[in-house]
Copies of this chain bind each other. A is one copy, B any other.
Amino acid sequence: MSVLAGVVGFRGYSGQELVSLLERHPHAQPVLMEHRADSEDRPRPLRFRAPQRIPSTPEAVHQAGLDVVFLATPPEVSMELALPLLEAGAKVIDLSGAFRLRTAENYRRWYKEEHTQPGLLSEAVYGLPEFYREAIRGARLISNPGCYPTAASLAIRPLVEAGVVDLDSGIVCDAKSGVSGAGRKPSLKTHFCEVTENLSAYSILDHRHVAEVLQNAGLEESQFSFTAHLLPIHRGILETIYFRAPGIHSSEELLTIYEKCYAHEPFVRLYDAGGIPSISAVAHTNFCDIGVKFDAATGRAVIVTVIDNLVKGAAGQAIQNMNLILGFGETEGLL
Residues of A in contact with B (beta carbons under 8 Å apart): 13, 24, 39-40, 42-43, 45-48, 168-170, 172, 174, 176, 178-180, 184, 186-188, 190-202, 204-206, 221-222, 225, 227, 229, 231-236, 238, 240, 242, 244, 259, 263, 269-272, 275-281, 283-284, 287, 289, 293, 295, 297-300, 302, 304, 335
26 contacts between A and B (CB under 8 A): A24-B335, A46-B269, A169-B170, A172-B174, A174-B242, A176-B229, A179-B193, A184-B191, A190-B192, A191-B191, A192-B196, A196-B234, A197-B197, A197-B280, A198-B279, A199-B278, A201-B240, A201-B276, A201-B304, A204-B304, A206-B295, A221-B298, A222-B299, A227-B242, A227-B302, A284-B284
Do the beta carbons of A188 and B40 come within 8 Å of each other?
A: yes
- Shortest Cβ-Cβ A-B pairs, 9 listed: A200-B278, A45-B269, A169-B169, A174-B174, A186-B186, A222-B298, A204-B293, A198-B280, A179-B192
Give the shortest distance, in Å, between A221 (CB) and chain B (any CB). Answer: 6
Decide if A280 touches B43 in the complex (CB within 8 Å).
no
Known: A197-B279, A200-B276. A269 touches B179 (CB 8 A): no
Q: Which residues of B contact A179 (CB under 8 A)?
A: 191-193, 196
Residues in chain B near residue A206, CB distance under 8 A: 295
Knowing A198-B233, A205-B295, A300-B225 touch, does A47 contact B280 (C-beta < 8 A)?
Answer: no
Q: What is the bound-complex CA distance between A200 and B174, given in angstroms?
A: 13
In the complex, what residue of chain B is closest to A293 when comparing beta carbons?
B204
Copies in the complex: 4
Instruction: Decide if A242 touches B172 in the complex (CB within 8 Å).
Output: yes
Query: Knowing A190-B186, A222-B300, A269-B46 touch, does A233 contact B280 (C-beta < 8 A)?
Result: no
- Chain B residues in 8 Å Cβ range of A24: 335
A225 to B299, CA, bound (A): 11
Q: How far is the CB of A160 from chain B (nearest CB, A)?
A: 17
Q: Which residues from chain B contact A168 at a C-beta distance below 8 Å? A: 169
A172 to B235, CA, bound (A): 26
B188 contacts A186, CB within 8 Å? yes
Given A186-B186, A204-B293, the answer on whether A180 and B199 have CB atoms closer than 8 Å is no
Closest to A177 in B: B199
Q: How far is the CA of A236 from the CA of B229 in the complex (A)?
A: 14
Q: Which residues of B contact A176 (CB under 8 A)?
A: 176, 199, 229
Give bound CA distance, A53 to B242, whole Å: 38
**One of B232, B259, B287, B299 near A231 (C-beta < 8 A):** B232
Considering the chains assembled together, what is the distance between the CA atoms of A48 and B281 in angstroms?
13
Q: For residue A43, which residues in chain B have a CB less than 8 angstroms away from its CB?
A: 271-272, 275-277
Residue in B40, B197, B238 whose CB lies within 8 Å of A229: B238
Given A40-B188, A204-B304, A231-B231, 5 more pairs with CB closer than 8 A: A45-B289, A46-B272, A222-B297, A227-B240, A284-B284
Q: In the complex, which residues of chain B have a beta carbon less than 8 angstroms from the beta carbon of A284?
A: 284
Tell me, in angstroms, the Cα distance from A180 to B193 when the chains sit together: 6
Check A234/B193 contact, CB under 8 A, given A186-B188, A198-B278, A221-B298: yes
Q: If the complex has contacts A197-B280, A231-B231, are A205 and B293 also in contact, measured as CB distance less than 8 A?
A: yes
